[in-house]
Structure formats: structure tokens, C-alpha cells
Chains A and B, each alone.
Chain A
């Protein structure tokens, strides 16, 4: 797998922090970041930090992942509906497949996405896990 270090570096912030934009005029929140508000066409957008919580909108179990992702196969890939309403695609982690269900509350965590072999860069980013039960 070819490693594109500059591309990963440019995308780090997005993958690390679930940053989106919020329209200053109509208040709509967008993910990924926009330069023009799709709702009202305003150009004045501010940075928005998503809370990182949401629920499973839909999911599937990946048993034959793309190259570079084999280290955590099988894994669940999901569409997550964030608390703010936007939908993001992400891997699920720390979960029992039998417990997964649509609507299950999840929260974002930082995990290893993939690594370029033993000597290349390690790419970190957000995944979602079932909300940690508080004791």
C-alpha cells in the first residue's frame, strides 16, 4: 500500500477531532466542514466541535477488509447519527457484534485506523464504541 504522508497529515485534524462548521446566520451544523452553508448559502461559517456522542443509524460487519485494515478484522462499520443530527461513517470498536442494534448509543474515541506495515506511519482517527456504562 502506498503511503501518502502529506495527505494523512492534512487530514489529521478532521480525523482526530470531529470538527465541523456552524452557520453564523441560520445555525445549521455541518459535517464534514463546508465553506458555504447548504441550507441558506451564507458564507460566514464558524468552526464547530461535535460532542462525539450519537447513535447507530445502520451498520454492517466487515469480514474482508481493504488492505491495511486486517489487524482488527472482523469489525463493524457504521453510519452514526451524531447528537447534533449529522451522519458520519465510522468503524465501531470495543463491541460485541451480538449486542449491536440500530439506535444503540455510542461515543467517539481515538484509535489506530491503520498502519503502513512495521516501518511506515501509524494513522489515528475517531471510531465509535458503545457508551461506557458508568459505575
Chain B
């Protein structure tokens, strides 16, 4: 897919809460092997944080880098599966906080872990068709894993926002994208349930790998490229293993995945996952380098994007905190504190 107008990313910004719980501590509580765990530690939102507050900071950081008047945004779209309200948009709160109301489109998008890239895909369409000069898409989650479930080790909190705008102002030029979906019930959460359910082993081959590899190959075919032509490749990262395995299947060198692989340090930020990785890559990429970003959302599908970083990156990068600053700000908490902060103790 391509846009009518030439567009790109003019601003980006991420946020990760400062609390961390070690996977070895979660394993200790449930009597599992503390060595055989999916990630080192995961981020935990503070008691006064939720998907909305995380989206607000990601939005502010994106605006700092874009350097635009918030009123010139035509849309604020928040992709999340952890909406603070079941009914009432998160996006209107974010739009009000950044001073972008009232002449703006605002909505929350939902598609498990790819809700954020879904919103980003929409933003490229919205700006690329000329309906708005700029649009802000955010992927964010404060994911919840059922106590003792395999997903509890990785369900984390964080997010990143991206402002789409004209190509001339871009820090990364948009070259094309692709979306690939099927009805695959690998993971879900019914209304009024606190925790999601998943189909265990079913989450790998027919779900994650099928969608990630097909979406990537199809976009590359359209653009006449190979996945390994890119300088950086970011995959949705539910753990450390899956994105590395996807890279191998697609013939992508391991070292191209490492700069955008953040899940070993903060866990899986769900709708934030691949986008937090993309922010980490923009923090280090040089002008002229190419970036491939691939999301995955259960239910199921993948969005893929192709970018080339421009000269503007060096001007705007330091206008907001980089991802490293958030990842490095850490306060370790124990399982009991984590259980209180995440509302896991029901009285």
C-alpha cells in the first residue's frame, strides 16, 4: 500500500513506567524455575498510571520532536487493549491534555497487540489522502496477565506515539505498508473479564509466525525489496525468542533486530511493543538508513511499514527523552507490591 501524497513521520515519543519486577521473582512465587523465564524483567505501571497517562507522555514527547502546533493535528488515535474506560474514549483525554481540541478526530482503536500500528496505518491514510496535515497515532498498553499464567511473566506497560505529516518535514520517510489479517483465535478477552485467555502453543506457528512472515514478504514483494535489505528490523516482541525466530525465517541478520528489541528489559508492552522498538531505532538510526517495522496482534494480523530515515532525525532526536532514559529509570518492586499496584488483590 502507498499513499497519494508523500508522507512520513515528523515526530515520535515513547514512555515506559519506572517500576520493574524480575521474572525470577514471579517464578519464585508460583514455584517455577527462576532461570527458565521469557524475559529478564518487565515494567509495571505505578498506582496512578494507566494507558491514558502513558499515552499523554508519549504524545507530549512526539509533539516536542515534531515542533508543531497541537491544533494542526487532524487526529489523535490511541490503540490499546487496556482502555481505562470500557466506554469513553482515551483519545479525547489525550487530545485535551496536549491542547489539540476541539477541531480534531479522536478515537481508540482495538486489535490486541497491533492496535497501535493499526492507528498508524490509518494516520498514513488520513494524512496521505490530504484529509489532515498531521495525525498522531499512539500504541499503548498496561497489559494484565492472570496470576501464575505464562503471560504474567511478560505482560508489561509502555507505549509510543508517532506524528504523521508531510514528507518534507519527516524524520523518516514512509515508503509503503501492508496489512495482513485472518480470523485466528489465539488470544482473547471477553467483556467484563479481568484477564485474557490464550490458546497456548497455538500462539506460535499458525498465529504469530504465519502473519508476521506473510505480511513482511508481501510488502517486500510490492516494494521490490528483501527483508534483509533493511538496516534495522523491528518485530512485535511478546518475548525474546519469537522476534529472533521470525528474523531467522525471513533471512534477517540478528544484529539488525537487536537495536529495536526492547522486550528483554521491559517485557511485552502489547499495542506498544513494536512501536516502542521503532522509537528505540529512531533514537539511534542515521540519515539514509532503512527501517522495517512489523507488528502482530492476536485475533490475528500484522501491519508492516517501510521507512528511510532522513537528515531531520539529527535535529529532533534530543528534543525529548530517548527510550534508554525511560528503560534506565528503574525501581525494582517485589511481587506483593506489584500485586497491589496492578489490582491483583480483590477484596
Contacts and interface: CB of A to CB of B under 8 A. Distances in A.
A96 B96 CA distance: 30
A71 B342 CA distance: 11
A109 B324 contact: no
Contacts of B322: 134-135
B48 A17 contact: no
A48 B61 CA distance: 20
A122 B329 contact: no
Contacts of A72: 46-48
A61 B326 CA distance: 25
B321 to A, nearest CB: 5
B99 A71 contact: no
B329 A13 contact: no
A105 B161 CA distance: 26
Contacts of A110: 52-53, 56-57, 97
A112 B41 CA distance: 25
Interface in B48-74: 48-50, 52-53, 56-57
A122 to B, nearest CB: 6
A17 B18 CA distance: 23
Nearest to B99: A17
Interface string B64-102: 000000000000000000001100000001001101000
A133 B328 contact: yes
Interface string B24-51: 0000000000000000000000111110
A133 B322 CA distance: 10
B223 interface: no
Which range holds the interface residue count of chain B?
20 to 34
B284 interface: no
B46 A124 contact: no
Nearest to B327: A135
A112 B46 CA distance: 10
Given A12-B96, A122-B85, A135 B53 contact: no
A31 interface: no
B328 A135 contact: yes
A133 B324 CA distance: 10
A132 interface: yes
Contacts of A17: 97, 99
B97 A132 contact: no
A110 B53 CA distance: 6
B53 A133 contact: no
Contacts of B47: 71-72, 112
A111 B325 contact: no
Which range holds the interface residue count of chain A?
20 to 34
Given A111-B49, A124-B97, A133 B56 contact: no
B46 A94 contact: yes
Interface string A89-115: 000011010000000000001111100
A13 B48 contact: no
A22 interface: no
Contacts of B52: 110, 122, 124
Interface in A6-24: 12-13, 16-17
Contacts of A94: 18, 46
B245 interface: no
Interface in A68-101: 71-72, 93-94, 96
A122 B325 contact: no
Contacts of B96: 12-13, 16
Interface of A: 12-13, 16-17, 49, 71-72, 93-94, 96, 109-113, 122, 124, 127, 132-135
Given A49-B99, A124-B52, 15 more contacts: A12-B96, A16-B96, A17-B99, A71-B47, A71-B48, A72-B46, A72-B47, A109-B57, A110-B53, A110-B57, A111-B46, A111-B48, A112-B50, A122-B84, A134-B322
30 contacts: A16-B97, A17-B99, A93-B46, A96-B331, A109-B53, A109-B56, A109-B57, A110-B53, A110-B56, A110-B97, A111-B46, A111-B48, A111-B49, A111-B53, A112-B47, A112-B48, A112-B49, A112-B53, A122-B52, A122-B84, A124-B93, A124-B97, A132-B321, A132-B326, A132-B329, A133-B325, A133-B329, A134-B325, A135-B324, A135-B325
